[in-house]
Structure 1
Amino acid sequence: MSEQLTEANLDKTYNHHEVEQRWQSAHWEPLGTFEAESGNVICAGKEPYTVLMPPPNVTGSLTLGHVLNHTLQDIFIRYQRMQGCESLWLPGTDHAGIATQTVVEKKLRKEGITRHDLGRKEFLEHVWQWRDEYGGLIVRQLKRLGISCDWRRNLFTMDEGPSRAVRHAFISLYRDGLIYRGKRIINWCPVSQTALSDEEVIMKPRRDKLAYVRYPIVGRSGEYITIATVRPETILADVAIAVNPEDPRYRHLVGSLAAVPLAGRHVPIIADSYVDIEFGTGALKITPAHDPNDYEVALRHNLPVISVVGRDGRMTDEFGYRGMDRFDAREKILADLEDEGALDRTEEYEHNVGYSERADVVVEPYLSEQWFVRMKPLAETALDAVNEGKVAFHPAHWINTYRHWMENIQDWCISRQLWWGHRIPAWYDEEGRIWVADSYEEACRLAGTDKLVQDEDVLDTWFSSWLWPMTTLGWTGEEESNPELEAFYPTNTLVTGPDIIFFWVARMIMAGLYFKNEVPFRDVYFTSIIRDLKGRKLSKSLGNSPDPLKVMDSYGTDALRFTIVYIAPLGQDVLFGEEKCELGRNFATKIWNAARLVFMNREKVFGDMETFRAAHDAFDANHLMQEETPERWILHRYHAMLQAYHQSFEQFRLNDIVKLIYEFFRSDYCDWYLETMKVSLAGASVERSRHVVSVALHVFEGVLKVLHPVMPFITDEIWHHIVPRGQEKSIARTAMPGASAAWVQDSASGFEKVRKIVSEVRSIRALFGVPHEMTAELLLREPDGGNLVNAYGDLIGSLVRCNVHRAPQDGRPSQAAGAVVDGCELFIPLQGLISFEKETARLQKELESVSSYVTRLEKKLANKGFVDNAPEEVVAGEKQKLAEALGNLEKLTANMDVLAS
């Protein structure tokens, strides 16, 4: 006996918890749905498509930023997989040097232990233990988001392969003269006791005192030069006073000496164009050990360098402040300057100050011996690659930011004073000479001695990350190529935030060109910044950052994915509030209910699965192009949507593809085609009924496929209920439907006119308050040759609760509301449908209200003072209001005329 069809194979309501859990844990990953093989590219000739996951910190947990970023990546990869590409999404996590070491040290402190108590080896064992226990949290949470990575390839930046690649990269760059060790001003965290990269420094507004300090001019009694500073504690390290050579106020003092207050040191007054004439007094104290710009001035003028703030943020001077915290010393020095008569005045001053991202303390500019990469030679080729279009940015305006940074690039400080990370492969002999090698044994051979000590520092976390496009494909630098690199490198699309365009995107391009002579990716999609509904960036301190896991619990993962892309236009910020996920949840519910409706009718008209499967497999819509039916119209609209959908992918406008699907399914398919289907099936022949439902299912299945990259769970679930399919199958492995040019060009004008007529009749009924339950008469007068009444009269009548007839060729029925739609006149006689007296009174009252409003607007716009002084957009807004009010007034007057006729 044939298997029976029943809509009961979909529950009455959509249970996202059950569906999401089952598809993620029991089907996709265990069955290898998202695995990619290099052999399919090299041997079978499939087109590769590779997405590189920006590796989240191993200490991290899911944020809305992750949700947006990874959902966008998933949309790209699922789309290309369904387009027939061998699609590989490379996952992984970053060891996050400072963040991870900070977490583990904090844990140890609770046990009364420091890392120094344990020693390096044992401390690292604790870190690895922590990573094994807690470091997989972010991966588990990403899996819950439904992202379709090839999880077999999940990589950690401290794994053996990436570690070998890091050593190779360091050694190669060093031997090519692009890595050196030297003294420079770097960002220093007094708490973490390490150098920081620029991206690990967060700029925050801070109020400080701007102190105006007098420096006596040596040999000129009573004469002094005044400088303004927010860091009076560094006065003790001053080595010069600088003025602009174009500043006439100080030209006579250049070459003189000034006495540094409190320190008593005599320093030269020099001329340097770096000094801003407009800031403060136009005279600048030069403290090269505590300011990078001052350091450059000192190099130009061959000045000495003196440091008075130590690695721990405490004073190291010889003037009585040694051991004091730098901020305590600041207050004490201000008081001592006042006592000495050197303090002219202080002012409140708000400025941006760098804070350590992890320790949340003010970063100290610190002169330190560190390892650096010479960036200019690398930047030149990376800049050319983008200028020549080898890498495209989306939105394109980020190219300007990229160019600015690359043209003004500084050397990269890559050493960190940590224990967790890739240890610098450099050893020192007893004479202080440096031996860079892959191992201690190799360093000993190079040095000719075994009395070597390895550098204590580790490499900046970004040093492993800039190799990520290569190391994720097995590159270690020890081989020319491998099948994975041959098949999948360069990758295709990188999705990332614009805030790391300098620190990661640009560096990956440099590394790819240097080590592989090829860019690492073809396109970079920069995501939006997510803000709350007040426009503020999401942060834990503000309490405005929803927990994505709770949002998924409440609304469903598909709902969150759909919503966050729907509200994220390319290149614009996202204003997110949890309640916005109602949009996604309601859409999922609409999809589910539409499926139940179509499946119910499938059961009625086909009866058993064997009959339906035969019809489903043999479906061919081409003959419909010759018929004037709703089916022809929905297929035209469906293919037009497909065309715009694929074009939006080509243009990287993912926000557009979500809106296209949403509008088509909600309006064209549900509000129009499914509504007409209910009418069409009433009294239709078996053949006609099966025909109508087959079109409904054909289009519905196509919608599921184009929606799958955005809402993977509900689409795979419903797809399996269209016809019986094994659980090892997935919609993710089906072919993405393409647009037919013939169907796109087919106008399907008949039903389009019907749709407009139905909308107009509904509007008229609402305008005149015709009760919904009352059947009206609808008279249609068509242009010569029109056949709407015969072709669609019953359908129109059912949709608007009217008896449809042809109108007389001339004249207008009395007391009838009317309109013209695409040359077709329509009339609804109102006699017997409404109370003319009550409706006239209602319209009169509304007419008076609108007339009064129009008078007020006209008076306002006639006021020259308002028009001349109000902002242009305000005046334009008032004019728009007036135009709309006049339009309403015209409609109300016309309706009054109808009732009076």
Structure 2
Amino acid sequence: MSEESAPFNLEKTYHHQEVEDRWRSAHWEALGSFHAESGRVLAEGKTPYTVLMPPPNVTGSLTLGHVLNHTLQDIFIRYSRMTGKEALWLPGTDHAGIATQTVVEKKLRKEGISRHDLGRKAFLDHVWRWREEYGGLILRQLRRLGISCDWRRNLFTMDDRASEAVINAFTALYRDGLIYRGTRIINWCPVSQTALSDEEVIMKPRRDKLVYIRYALAKRPGEYITIATVRPETILADVAIAVNPTDPRYRDLVGELAVVPVAGRHIPVIADDYVDIEFGTGALKITPAHDPNDYEVARRHNLPVISVVGKDGRMTDQYGYAGMDRFDAREKILSDLEERGDLERVEEYEHNVGYSERADVVVEPYLSEQWFVRMKPLSERALQVVNDGEIRFHPPHWINTYRHWMENIQDWCISRQLWWGHRIPAWYDSDGRVWVASSYEEACHLAGTDKLVQDDDVLDTWFSSWLWPLTTLGWTGTHSDNDDLRAFYPTDTLVTGPDIIFFWVARMIMAGLYFKDAVPFRDVYFTSIIRDMKGRKLSKSLGNSPDPLKVIDTYGTDALRFTIIYIAPLGQDVLFGEEKCELGRNFATKLWNASRLVFMQREKWFGSLDEFESAYSGFSPDRTTFAFAEEHVLTARYHSMLDRYHTAFGQFRVNDIVRNVYEFFRGDFCDWYLEALKIYLSGISDADAARKAVLLSVHVLEGTLKILHPVMPFITDEIWHYIIKRPHGRSVALSSMPEAEKEWLGMDVSLLSHPRAIISEVRSLRSLFAVPSTSTAPLIIRAADAAAADLLAADSNIIAAMTKCDVQITASAEKPRHAAASVVEGNELFVQLEGLISFEKERARLQKEISNIASYAASLKKKLENSSFTANAPKDVVERERDKLSEAERNLEKLGNNLDVLAG
């Protein structure tokens, strides 16, 4: 199809591959459709709207989670662009420190090489080459999804600009006393041999042995105290046994010394509120080097710290287990304890254990010297802006989760023992003093020597991510500013998962307030969790996560986008099965076929596309020229739908947006207006009225395409280009979003809806009495008043065609014998059945149905008359049974009336 001239109609069949290939984002990008400029905000006064893409990992590939998240963002940005805002969507990818280093190291191991063989510089060269070759996969896949980012601004967290910002942020925080180096228990991965953030630790259920071990009391021969543990290998590092001060079983033992089995050390029995009286024996061994809670107990009681598990997960003790894997040592120690007579008993115990997300091994709590950010000074204001509504959460219940975490915040371990990432800008002199600076030269100047060695560690990936709202807009330091920041910061809407509310959302808020003295965004939309049809989270291990690209191949991108939004209400989990995309595919086909029907009528009533375009350019729906009732109803409901559409956007109810448009288009437009239009035009001789009816159909179709475009960008742009000739470079993406007009919102269409209601009721009566669809039935309508009679008479041919009836409209008429009757808005309907059905067979069918329902009603009545049931059953159960009885009685009455119609 040429963009300069559109043919009268679409191809007969909708082929999503062809349409999507034609309108891939590469085409839109070539037109500059998604570009946003700060000058249009600062100089021309346009309202900015900014969305921040959560940067996918450079190692990633498209998942259904990405589809939902990025489709939502695309909907927000396309809608804002079409409502006249300078809409900017900032894309980028995250360097994913551990994930990327793991991938490259695995590749090197296949070649028999380790990173240590290569050295740091050569290894990083390998990582950069891998990134250049494979790191753009996720962005190419996102482009296939049709997302409308300003791709010129694509940022990688290891790009020079982002790296400069990270270094400057670190040095500023350090100089303000908010970054320090200290020793604490952290999550340690023995395989990757690095500290991990909580986000990189996956909790999994695991069955272990709960071991009960006797500790002899040094000054009480023959007496002992029993503790329960799942980690017997760490008894070698015990420094105390703690009991709860309120526990009467151990009150007299506080202050005594116990003997550590195997190690033979004497350790004190201490009292601490931390101990849970109900767990195990109520006595807890304290191993501060291997448990963060034990470490805090040890600090409170000024206890020593002993470590017996090394960085590689192997034992480092002096009792004969050194060099053994920690789990092998566990089994050996159990055997030795049993042989010594110190093992009391063993129980099976299921509990949640932390695993390294990347290496899939049990994480080791490890006492280590690391770099930390003091979070409490940063968190107070970050909590306040959410409490005060300066930042709004959607749905708002996530505020409670955010508040709980911020009020109990711990310092953030930001150092990682990796080579891939932002290297910590700290240098050490020969005396061990640390010099933090933005460059080696600055550090040398501060230290007064060039004999400095840089810290080997890199920063946690989240340290670059928390600066994302700033770095994507060109911020590189604490005082840097530019036109993009002035125009587009703060950003507007962040779409993200609730699982990273602590690791990313909260930290970005803290960073924005600290470095820019402003919130980073105004609204946070938390996406649903996608589950399979059994309610399980999607995962590769379960094999229940469909490949979105294969779904797109089968059903189409628009179908997938439409479906996943249609089934994802705000704040509720999504149950997704690939077959659900039939909903989106069927709707896309409906949209295509309805457009073809409209264009066929356009071709019939307009001699050329130029003639149509001339008439359409000045067209505006005018109720005084409408020729049949459905025109009024359609226009009023169209504007009502537009009003709900824009309201839902303002309330972040994207699911309601899709459902509203879907119901309007399928129901009001296709099932009613287009069906009525075909009938109306088939017998009309007034060409002017016919053209106006066609113009209205195109007008509403184009408006529907525009409001659907944020959700289904490909098919809507394709059809939009068939309405009139479009100049090169035009896209529906840059057109104006239709607005609801107040005059139509206030319009009362109750009278005008009578033909539609009557058609529905007559169809119901035909179905109720099993009137064959091939038979034409006589229909008498006794109009409620003169106005109704005139309206129904004007639309009688439409009523007749859509009900397959011969229609007679009268002001007064007796009810015919053997006629199915009903009343709609005061209009009495009589469908004559004589000669259309077998009264004998129909009476037999009705009597059988009456008998079945009567029997059912009798059983319900008997149950409700049973005082034992009504007294003991839950109130809601009793009410449901009463409702069932009432419905059965109504059905009996209705069927009895129908039987009377067939009597005699």
TM-score higher than 0.5: yes
**Correspondence for 1:554:** 554
Taking the aligned partners of 1:440 and 1:187, their CA distance within structure 2 comes to 30
- Counterpart CA distance in 1 for 2:6 and 2:345 is 86
In structure 2, the partner of 1:826 is 829
Report the CA distance between 1:27 and its aligned residue.
Answer: 2.1
**Distance between the aligned counterparts of 2:4 and 2:81, measured in 1?**
33
| Separation in 1, partners of 2:6, 2:189 | 66
Q: Is the 8 A contact 2:776 2:806 kept in 1?
A: yes
CA shift, 1:878, in A, is 4.2
- The residue aligned with 1:410 is 410
Question: 1:843 maps to what in 2?
Answer: 846
Deviation at 1:887, TM superposition (A): 2.9
Mapped partners of 2:847, 2:728: distance in 1: 65
SS at match of 1:537: coil
Q: CA offsets, 1:230-250, max 9 Å, x none?
A: 111111100001111111111
**Aligned equivalent of 1:893:** 896
For the residue of structure 2 that corresponds to 1:837, the secondary structure is: helix
Q: Aligned-pair distance for 1:478?
A: 6.0
Partner of 1:358: helix, strand, or coil? coil
**Aligned equivalents of 1:625, 1:876: Cα separation in 2:** 52
Deviation for aligned residue 1:852: 2.3
Q: Superposition pairs for residues 386-401 of structure 1, below 5 Å? A: 386-401=386-401
Match of 2:718 in 1: 717
SS in 1 for 2:369: strand
CA contact (8 A) 1:83 1:736 kept: yes
Give the conservation status (yes or no) of the 8 Å contact 1:6–1:599. Answer: no
Aligned residue identity for 2:263:
A
Cα 1:604–1:818 change in 2 (3 A) is same
Q: Which amino acid aligns with 2:167?
A: R
Which stretch has the larger CA shift, 234-243 or 615-624?
Answer: 615-624
- Partner residue, 1:793: 796
Q: 1:213 is matched with which residue?
A: 213
Matching residue of 2:694: 693
Kept in 2: contact 1:189–1:196 (CA 8 A): yes
Q: Provide the rounded CA distance (Å) in 1 between the counterparts of 2:571 and 2:792.
A: 49
Q: Report the residue type matching 1:585 in the other structure.
A: R
| Residues 218-257 of structure 1: pairs in structure 2 closer than 5 A | 218-257=218-257
Give the C-alpha shift of residue 867 in structure 1: 5.1
Give the letter aligned to residue 898 of structure 1: V
Q: State the partner residue of 1:195.
A: 195
Matched position secondary structure for 1:221:
coil
Conserved? CA contact 2:201–2:354, under 8 Å: yes
Q: Which residue does the alignment assign to 1:424?
A: 424
Q: Structure 1 residue 213: deviation in Å? A: 1.0
2:741 partner letter: S
Give how far 1:865 is off.
5.2
Distance 1:728 1:863 in 2: 76
Partner in structure 1 of residue 89 of structure 2: 89
Q: Distance in 2 between matches of 1:6 and 1:435?
A: 68
Aligned-partner SS, 1:749: coil
Question: Structure 1: how far apart are the matches of 2:319 and 2:391?
Answer: 56
C-alpha distance in 2 between matches for 1:601 and 1:297: 82
CA distance in 2, matches of 1:868, 1:284: 51
Q: Cα distance, 1:651 vs. partner? A: 0.4
Mean alpha-carbon deviation: is it higher for 337-346 or for 553-562? Answer: 337-346
Aligned residues of 1:115 and 1:123 also touching (Cα < 8 A): yes
Select the residue among 807, 821, 829 that pairs with 1:804.
Answer: 807
**C-alpha contact 2:218 2:258 (8 A) present in aligned 1:** yes
1:731 and 1:235, CA in 2 relative to 1: closer, same or farther beyond 3 A? same
Structure 2 residue 137 is matched with structure 1 residue 137: yes
SS in 1 for 2:289: helix
In 2, the alpha carbon distance for the partners of 1:727 and 1:663 equals: 33
> Which residue identity does 1:172 align to in structure 2?
A
| SS of equivalent residue, structure 2 residue 721 | helix
Q: Residue 522 of structure 2 aligns to a residue in which SS? A: strand
Identity of paired residues, percent?
72
Name the counterpart of 1:741.
742
Answer whether contact 1:4 1:608 (CA < 8 A) is retained: no
Three-state SS of the structure 2 residue aligned to 1:701 is: helix
Counterparts in 2 of 1:218 and 1:625: CA distance versus 1, 3 Å? farther
Matches within 5 A, 1:627-776: 629-684=629-684, 685-776=686-777
Unaligned runs of 5+ in 2: none
| Superposition map of 1:29-68 within 5 A | 29-68=29-68
Structure 1 range deviating more: 684-693 or 167-176: 684-693
Instruction: Name 1:168's counterpart in structure 2.
Output: 168
- Matching of residue 853 in structure 1 with residue 856 in structure 2: yes
**Tell me, which stretches of 5 or more residues in structure 1 are unaligned?**
none
Aligned to 2:482: 482
480-489 or 784-793, larger mean C-alpha shift = 784-793
Aligned residue runs from structure 1 range 56-135, under 5 A = 56-135=56-135
Structural RMSD (CA): 1.6
- Range moving further from structure 2, 331-340 or 806-815: 806-815
- What are the within-5 Å matches in structure 2 for residues 393-472 of structure 1? 393-472=393-472
Structure 2 counterpart SS, 1:290: coil
Q: 1:782: which partner in 2?
A: 783
Shift of 1:119: 0.3
CA distance, structure 2, for counterparts of residue 132 and residue 870 of structure 1: 68
SS of 1:778's equivalent in the other structure is strand
The equivalent of 1:384 in structure 2 is 384
Q: Give the 3-state SS of the residue equivalent to 2:493 in structure 1.
A: strand
The amino acid that maps onto 2:812 is Q
SS in 2 for 1:124: helix
Asked if structure 2 preserves the Cα contact closer than 8 Å seen for 1:257 and 1:267, the reply is yes
Q: Comparing 420-429 with 802-811, which one deviates more in the overlay? A: 802-811
| Worse overlay, 674-683 or 427-436 | 674-683
Distance in 2 separating the partners of 1:781 and 1:482: 74
Report the residue type matching 1:251 in the other structure. R
Q: Deviations over 1:556-605 (max 9, x none)?
A: 00000000000000000000000000000000000000000000000000
Aligned to 2:313: 313
Amino acid at match of 1:319: Y
| Mean Cα deviation higher: 877-886 or 675-684 | 877-886
Distance, in Å, in 1 between the alignment partners of 2:626 and 2:800 is: 24
Distance in 1 between the 2:71 and 2:805 partners?
Answer: 47
Matched, 1:157 2:157: yes
Preserved CA contact (<8 Å) 1:528 1:572: yes
d(CA) in 2 for partners of 1:218, 1:861:
73
Conservation of the 8 A alpha-carbon contact between 2:376 and 2:411: yes
1:427-463 C-alpha deviation (Å, 9 max, x unpaired): 0000000000111111111101111100000000000
Q: Which amino acid aligns with 1:65?
A: G
Deviates more, 1:543-552 or 1:842-851: 842-851
Flag the 1:338–1:865 CA change in 2: closer, same or farther, 3 A.
farther
Q: Per the alignment, in what secondary structure is the counterpart of residue 270 of structure 1?
A: strand
* 8 A contact 1:196–1:416 mirrored in 2: yes
Q: Give 2:89's aligned amino acid.
A: W
Taking the aligned partners of 1:551 and 1:752, their CA distance within structure 2 comes to 41
TM-score (norm 1): 0.98
Partner of 1:593: 593
Distance 1:791 1:275 in 2: 84
Please give the alpha-carbon distance, in whole angstroms, between the structure 2 residues aligned to 1:795 and 1:284.
83
User: For residue 564 of structure 1, what is the amino acid of its counterpart?
Assistant: I
Conserved 8 A contact 1:214-1:224: yes
Distance 1:258 1:29, change over 3 A: same
Question: Over residues 581-636 of structure 1, what are the superposed CA-to-partner deviations in whole Å (9 max), with x where a residue is unaligned?
Answer: 00000000000000000000000001211210111111021344887621111000
**TM-score (norm. length: structure 2):** 0.98
Shift of residue 879, structure 1, vs aligned partner: 4.1
Partner Cα distance (1:841, 1:896) in 2: 9
The CA distance in 2 between the partners of 1:626 and 1:668, in whole Å, is: 16
Kindly tell me: are residues 654 and 624 of structure 1, through their superposed partners in 2, closer, same or farther at Cα, counting changes over 3 Å? farther
Gap change, CA 1:214 and 1:566, over 3 Å in 2: same
Checking the alignment, whether the CA contact within 8 Å between 1:625 and 1:632 is kept in structure 2 is no
**Aligned-partner SS, 1:36:** coil
* Preserved contact between residue 25 and residue 146 of structure 2 (Cα < 8 Å): no
